[in-house]
A and B are shown apart, each in its own frame.
Chain A
Amino acid sequence: MATTNSLRVDSRTIYVGHRSSSTNEAFIPPKFCDNRIVSSKYTVWNFLPKNLFEQFRRIANFYFLIIFLVQVIVDTPTSPVTSGLPLFFVITVTAIKQGYEDWLRHKADNEVNKYPVTVLEQGRRIRKESEKIKVGDVVEVEEDVTFPCDLILLQSSRDDDTCFVTTASLDGESNHKTHYTVPDTEKDLETLNATIECEQPQPDLYKFVGRMHIYKNDQEPAVRSLGPENLLLKGATLKNTQRICGVAIYTGMETKMALNYQGKSQKRSAVEKSINAFLLVYLCILVSKALVCTTLKYVWQGKPGQDEPWYNEKTQREKDTNLYLKMFTDFLSFMVLFNFIIPVSMYVTVEMQKFLGSFFITWDKDFFDPEIKEGALVNTSDLNEELGQVEYVFTDKTGTLTQNNMEFIECCIDGFQYKYRDASSDLDGFCVTDGPLNKVQEKAGREELFLRALCLCHTVQVKESSEQGQGQRDQVDGFGLDGEVLPPLREQRGFIASSPDEVALVKGAMRFGFTFLGLESKNMKILTRNNDIEMYELLHVLNFDPVRRRMSVIVRSKSGDTLLFCKGADSSIFPRVRQEEVERIRMHVERNATTDDYLLVVTLGAMCFAVQEEDYAQADAGLMEARLALQDREQKLMAVYNQVETGMSLIGATAVEDRLQEEAAETMEALQGAGIKVWVLTGDKMETAKSTCYACRLFQRNTELLELTVRTLEDGGRRREERLHELLLEYHKKAVQDAPPVKSGVTRTWSSANQDYGFIIDGATLSMVLNSSSESNSSRYKNLFLQICQNCTSVLCCRMAPLQKAQIVKMVKNSKGSPITLSIGDGANDVSMILEAHVGIGIKGKEGRQAVRNSDYAIPKLKHLKKLLLAHGHLYYVRIAHLVQYFFYKNLCFILPQFLYQFFCGYSQQPLYDAAYLTMYNICFTSMPILAYSLLEQHICIEVLLDNAALYRDIAKNGMLRWRPFLYWTLLGVFHGLLFFFGVRFLFSNPALQDNGQVFGNWSYGTIVFTVLVFTVTLKLALDTRHWTWINHFVIWGSLLFYVFFSFFWGGIIWPFLKQQRLYFVFANMLSSVSAWLVIILLILLSLLPEILLVVFHKPRGPRQVELRHIHTFPLYFTHSFSPRFIYLFHFLTVLPLFSLWFWSSLMEPIFNIFIRGI
C-alpha cells in the first residue's frame, strides 16, 4: 500500500470511521490520546505533594522551610511555631488559591469533556461524551456548536460543500471563515473508505498539511490534498451551516488549541531583581550577625565562671556535645533568632499587591472603548511596576499609530490619476485629475478591467444578514431584476476580510459601480456598472503572505479566458511586471506616499494582471502538486507562486488612506516628554512611515533626519559595505560626538538650539548592520548604530520583517544599562517583538487577537498608553518600591534590638520579644497598613501625573530601588533599632518603674521595645502616606488598636496550651507605669523627628518648583532634590545626643542640680 510505504514518524495515519483500507491487511488501530482536555494541574490525590513541591521550589519558601526544620531539629531560642506559622499561612493561602483555580479549571474541563456530541458509527448516530471521541471517529456538529476536536471536514449541509466557522475564541477574529469539504468525498459517509495522512500535531493555527486517500472498490486510491481550509479547529464555532460531519484527527491535548495554550516564558520585572539583590544583602547581614554573635559567645564563655555558673548548669547532654557541633548549632540558633530580618510576608504582600493592584487597570473606565465595548486586559500582574520604568517604546505603525481603518481615496490607471470625490454615486466622482483626455475609448476599457480586478482579486466574504441564507439569496437575485432596489441595499452590504485594506478596495470598487456579490460554489459574482451580473470561476487563490507581500487569484471568465489578478505592495509588484509600464505609475506612487497631509497616511497597493491559457495548465498542475506535498509544502507552494506570478502587466495603483489613531500625536508627545524614546518599527515602506512619523510629531519640522536605507547606500555608487561604514561614521560624528552632553533629568525643550536628530533605517540595511561580513565589523557597526539611535529623539525602522522587529528590541534590551523596553502592536507580526520586550502591550485592533493573546497588557487604543504608563505605571512603581523598602526597613528595626540584646544576655540567643509578637509582627500588626498603602497611594494625583509627563523621569532607572535609597532605608532601620533598644536599656538601668516600687523583668523590656517598634513603624508609614482614604485611616489606626487589644488579650489569660505564661499581665503592668508611657512617647517622637525635619528642607527647588507648587510635596524618599549627605547628617544629629546622654547624665547632673536648687 502506498500509504504505509510513505508512513513516517512525523506523520500520522487515520482510518476514517475506523474502517481498514483493505480487508486483507491486519487492522491495528493506532494509539492516539483520547479527547480529554486536561488543563488542570492537579488531581485530588497529587494535589498536596505536587503543590507543596511547586511551592517549595521558590527560594524564599525553601529558605523558610529550612529555618523551620532547623528550629524543629536543633534546640533554638524560638519555638518552631514562630516561623512555622507564617510559613504555614503563606503556603496554605497559596495552596487554597491555586486549588481554587484548579477547581475552576477542573470544572471548565469537565464542562468541555462531558459535553454531548454525536458520533456516526456504522451508520447509526450515537450520543457520546466529548472526551470519548477517538481519532478516526466521524463527528457530527450542528450550527452554533463548537467543534469538540480538530476535524477534517467531510460533509456539509450547505450545497456548495463549504461551511462557515468563526474562530473568535481562538484568535479573536470574528469574521466568518469559509472551510471546504475534501473534494470528491462521497455523500454517503457510511461507505467512505479512506485514510488520512497528516503531520503530527503542531501548534500553528494556520498551518496544516495532509492528504487523504480514498479507496473505491479496488480502484487506484484517489489522493486529495488537505490544507488548513479543510481543518476545523477545536474551539471554533460552526456558523451559518446547519450541520457538518468531520473526522477527528487530533484529539484532546493534541488539538491545536491545547497546544497553543501552553505557557509562554515568564517575564521578571526589574523590581524583582532589586528585591533579590536586597535579599542577598540582608542575607549577608543575617549571616554576619549570627557569626558575630557566635564568635563573641565563645570569647565571652572563655572567661571563667561565665559559661556555667552554679545557678545555671547545663544538662548532661549539653555537656557531652562536641564543641564544634555546639558552635554550629549555636550559629544555626542565631540564624533562627535573626531570620525575621528576611520577611516571609513580603513575598505574600508583594504578590497580593500585584494581583490586587492589577485590578485597577481592568477597572479603569478611561480604558473602556465604546466601539469594541471592552476595557483593558491584564494578562500578567507581575509587570505592573515595570510600566513605570519604560525607557524605550517600540511601536508598530499600522493599526497602532494609525487606525487601520482603510479608505480607498484614489487610484491611478495606466498613468492617469483618479480621485474619488465624495459626490453622488456614479462616474462623476470618478474623475481624472490629470493626464491627457484622449484615447477615451481605450481608457474606459482599462478602467473597467481595473475595476474588475478590484472586484475579483481578494478573499473578501460578503456578510450575510441575520436572515437565513435562502432569503438572502432571493434578494441577491432581486438585484438583477430590479435595479431600483439596488442603491440602499448596496450600502448595507457588509464585507468581511482578514485585512481591512481588502475591504477598502472592494468598497472602493463598489462606489465606482462594480459590486462584488459573493462567492457561490466557486463562482465569483460581480455586478458591473451596467447592472449585469458577471460570473467568474475561481480557480485558485494564491494567498497573501508577508514575505511575498502580494496575493493573486486565478479566475476563468465566462468567455473561457483564464486571468490571473495579482495585487500587492508596489515593491513586490514592480519587479514582476513589464518594466516599461512601471515608470508612469511609480511617479504617482511616490508622490502619494510623501504627501505631507497632516492627518492622512496613505498606503499604496499596486495592482496588475496577466496570464495566458497555456500557462494555466502548467500552473494548475504545479499548484496541485505543491498542495499535495506533505513535506515542505510551504516552500514548494512559495516556489510555484513565484513562478506563476511573473510576466504580468500593470493596470494601475490604488491609494488607500489610513487615519491616525485618536490622540496619537499627543500620546507620542507625552511619551517623549516623559523621557521615553519612541521607535517606530513597521513593515511598511519608508515614505509612508515617515509621513506617519511627521503626523505623530515624532519627527518635527526641524528634526534632521539621518537616513540609512538602501537608497542612501546606493547613492555613492560604491560598494554598499563601504558606504554603510562611511555613513555610520558620519552620523555618529554628527549625532554623538558633536552633540552637547545631555544632562540627565533635564527636560529637553524642543525650541532649544539643541539639534534633534531622527534616524531612519530599513530592513535590508539593518540586516547588513547586524550581520556584517566580518565579525569585528559587525559588533562595531552594532555599537555605532546603537549609539546613534540612543542620541536620536526618535528612530524609524521601516520594511521590517517580524523577526527583525524582535531583533531590534533584543538589541536595545541588551545594550548598556539594559533599559526597560516596551513593545506595542496589534497584529500577528508584532507578536515576536511583544514577547521579546520587557513589557508587551497588545492593541485590541482589527488584525485579530494574536497580539492581545501574547501581550502582558492589552488596551483598546494607543491613546490609553499614556495613562497606562504615566499614571498607572508611575503609581505602581512608587507603591511597590516603597513597599519593598519599607518591608526591609521594618524588619531590620524589628530584629536589630534582638541582636543587641544578645550582648546583654550572654549571647544565649534569648529572644527579646515573646513568641506571639515574633510571629504576629509581620502577619497582623504591620502588614495591613503597607498593603493598603501599596494599593491606594497616590503621592501625586493622577491628573497631575498626566499633565506633567516629565514627572515620569523622576522614577526612571529604577530610581527608588537603587542602592542609595536602599542605604537610606537601611540606615533608617538601624537608627530606629538602636534608638528603641538603647532608649529602653537606659530606662531599665533602674527597673523599678512602677510607683509601688515593683520591678519589671525581661519580658516587660521586650514589650516596651515592641510597642515602640509597632507604633513607630506604623506612624512612619503614616508620615509617608500622601493619600489618606478612609481605608488608610481604618487600617493604620485599626492596626495600632488591634495591637493594643491583642496585647491585653494575650496577657490577660493563663493560656492552657502554653508552656510558659511569659506575658501574663506584662502589657497591663507596662501601661500602669508612667515611665513606660513617657519612654514610649519619647522614642516614637525621636525616631520620627528626622523624617519630619526633612520635610522642611524638602521643598522642591529649581525649575520644576513652579509646576509642582500645587502638588503635594514629594515623599521623603525622593532624595535627589536634597543631598543625601544632609539627611544622614540629620540622622546623625539626632542619634548623637542619645548616645551621649549616658555620658552627659554624669556630666550634666551637677549643672542641673545647681540650676534646680537655684529655683
Chain B
Amino acid sequence: MMASSYNAKEEDGHHSGASNNGGAGVVKSKKPDNTAFKQQRLPAWQPILTAGTVLPAFFVIGLIFIPIGIGLYVTSNNIKEYEIDYTGADINDACYNCAKNFSWNSTTPCLCSVPFTLEQPFESNVFMYYGLSNFYQNHRRYVKSRDDSQLNGDRSALKNPSKECEPYRTSEGKPIAPCGAIANSLFNDTLELYHIDSNGTRNAIPLVKKGIAWWTDKHVKFRNPGGNSNLTVAFQDTSKPVNWRKPVFDLDPSDPENNGFINEDFIVWMRTAALPTFRKLYRIIQKKPSTTPTLPSGKYVLEITYNYPVRSFDGRKRMILSTISWMGGKNPFLGIAYITVGSICFFLGVVLLIIHHKYDTRNNSADIPS
C-alpha cells in the first residue's frame, strides 16, 4: 500500500494504483495471460516479396499501362483545339490599340476582331475557354480575399463583409457586394464568334452560357440574398466592386436564374485557378442536331469587347476552342506517362527476369559443393 504510493514508475506502467491494497502480505499471482495478442503470436500474414512474385507484377503493370496509355494518347490527340492570343501585345495585333489605350474610366467599349481559320471541323460540343497567363489567381492575398458567407446569401455578411476582403471591402461607405479581390477582378471581356461562310456573310454562332460552372457551386454554394427575384432590392445599400462597370444584379439582366451571385461567369471566375497560366470555361457551342459539324472548317471572326487589362503585369489573354473527351481537355501528358511507365515496367521486367534467371542458376551451382 505504502510502497505503491511512491513507486510511481511501477504504478504508471504496470499496476493499477490500488493493486497492492492488501499490504505486503498478499502475493498476487502475476502470471501473464496466455493470449495470442499479449504473447505477440497473433496469426499473421507474412507476405514474402521475392523476385518470383514481383516479376509477374511488372509484366502485368506493363501490359495494363501500355494499352491505357495508348488509349489516352489517341483520345488526347483526337481532341481538337484552337487557340488565339488576342492580348494585343504586338503592334500588328488586332487588339493592339485597345490594349494600348486602355483606361478604367473610358465609357465607350473598345472593340476589336480577330479573324481566324479552322483547318478541321470541330465535331460534337465545342467548349470555348478564355485563358490568362501570368495572372496569379493563386496568390495568397488574392485567394483569401472573398467572403463565402456573403456569396452564400447571408444577409449580415452582405452588409458587413469579412475583413479578408480588404482593401475591396467597402467603397464610398457602403459594403461591396461581392467583396474581395477575386470578385473585383472578374474577367469582363466579351467574346463573340462569327462564322464567315463561303459568300462572306457573318453568322453569329450561338454561345450557351449555362452549364459552365460546377452544379454544386451554382445551386448550393452561391446564392442570392433573399432569393433570385428582385435583386435590385436585395442588393440595396451595397456598392458595386470598384472595377466593375455594372452592379452585380446587372450581370445578366435577361435571365434571373443567372444573375447576381449565381451568374455562372462569376462563379467560374470565383473558383481560383491552381497555376498562374490557366483557362476558364466561357461558353459552350452545342452540337447541331443535324450531321453537320458544330464548327465546320472555314473562316471565323472573333469579336472582342476589350475591357480587361493585362499588359500592366505582362499577362496574356487567349481564346481557346476545344472539344472534350471522357478524359477532359487535350493533354498528352497522361497518355505519354502511362506509355512510358508501362514500357519501363515491361522493360525492367524483362531485364530483371534475365538477371534473376542468371543469378539464380549461379546461386544454385554455388550451393551444391557446400
Contacts and interface: CB of A to CB of B under 8 A. Distances in A.
Q: Does A associate with B in a complex?
A: yes
A470 to B, nearest CB: 21
Given A938-B40, A993-B328, A1028-B44, A1060 B221 contact: no
A312 B8 contact: no
The residue among A234, A999, A1064, A1105 with the most chain B CB atoms within 10 A of its own CB is A999
A910 B2 contact: no
A1002 B274 contact: yes
B71 to A, nearest CB: 10
B135 A311 contact: yes
B334 A39 contact: no
A107 B18 CA distance: 9
B331 interface: yes
Interface stretch (A417-425, A885-893, A1077-1085): A1077-1085
Interface stretch (B110-118, B226-234, B255-263, B338-346): B338-346
A76 to B, nearest CB: 10
Given A998-B213, A1096-B356, A1137-B344, A373 B139 contact: no
B192 interface: no
A39 B8 contact: yes
B214 A1065 contact: yes
A940 to B, nearest CB: 10
Contacts of A381: 13
B317 interface: no
Contacts of A1144: 336, 340
B6 A999 contact: no
Contacts of A998: 212-214, 281
A1001 interface: yes
Interface residues of A, number: 132
Contacts of B40: 360, 364, 936, 938, 942
Contacts of B212: 997-998
The residue among A312, A368, A1059 with the most chain B CB atoms within 10 A of its own CB is A312
B304 interface: no
B30 interface: yes
A1093 B348 contact: yes
A362 B143 contact: no
A111 B5 contact: yes
B14 to A, nearest CB: 5
A424 to B, nearest CB: 37
The contact size tier of chain B is 35 or more
B213 to A, nearest CB: 7
B274 A991 contact: yes
A1005 interface: yes
B50 A1095 contact: yes
A364 B32 contact: yes
Interface in A745-772: none
Given A315-B167, A1073-B328, A234 B333 contact: no
A226 B303 CA distance: 113
Interface stretch (B144-152, B195-203, B293-301): B144-152
A1141 B333 contact: yes
A1149 B144 contact: no
Nearest to B370: A1106
Interface in A965-987: 983, 985-987
A243 B152 CA distance: 83
Interface in B1-30: 1-14, 16-18, 20-21, 23-25, 27, 29-30
A235 B45 CA distance: 50
A379 B359 CA distance: 50
B333 A305 contact: no
A380 B9 contact: yes
The residue among B21, B143, B330 with the most chain A CB atoms within 10 A of its own CB is B143
A1001 B276 contact: no
Given A108-B17, A985-B275, A1075-B328, A237 B9 contact: no
A1064 B220 contact: yes
A291 B7 CA distance: 49
Interface string A890-927: 00000000000000111011100000000000000000
B78 to A, nearest CB: 9
Contacts of B8: 39, 101, 105, 261
B273 A365 contact: no
Interface stretch (A150-158, A164-172, A589-597, A826-834): A164-172
A1061 B8 CA distance: 49
Given A305-B312, A904-B275, A989-B331, A997 B127 contact: yes
Nearest to B72: A1078
Interface stretch (B53-61, B93-101, B171-179, B245-253): B53-61
A107 B5 CA distance: 9
A755 B38 CA distance: 44
A905 B139 contact: yes
A1132 interface: no
Given A1030-B42, A1095-B51, A1134-B344, A1002 B272 contact: yes
Contacts of B142: 311-312, 908
Contact of B329 (A166, A355, A993): A993
The residue among B20, B32, B144 with the most chain A CB atoms within 10 A of its own CB is B32
A969 to B, nearest CB: 19
B140 A77 contact: yes
A1096 B354 CA distance: 12
A476 interface: no
B216 interface: yes
B275 A362 contact: no
12 contacts: A108-B1, A311-B181, A360-B38, A365-B33, A375-B31, A910-B140, A987-B333, A998-B213, A1030-B42, A1061-B221, A1064-B216, A1152-B336
- A-B pairs, top 10 by smallest CB distance, nearest first, are A311-B185, A992-B329, A108-B5, A104-B17, A261-B6, A1005-B274, A169-B3, A363-B38, A997-B127, A908-B140
Given A359-B13, A908-B142, 13 more contacts: A101-B11, A104-B16, A108-B5, A260-B6, A315-B167, A373-B31, A905-B136, A906-B276, A986-B337, A987-B333, A993-B329, A1075-B334, A1113-B49
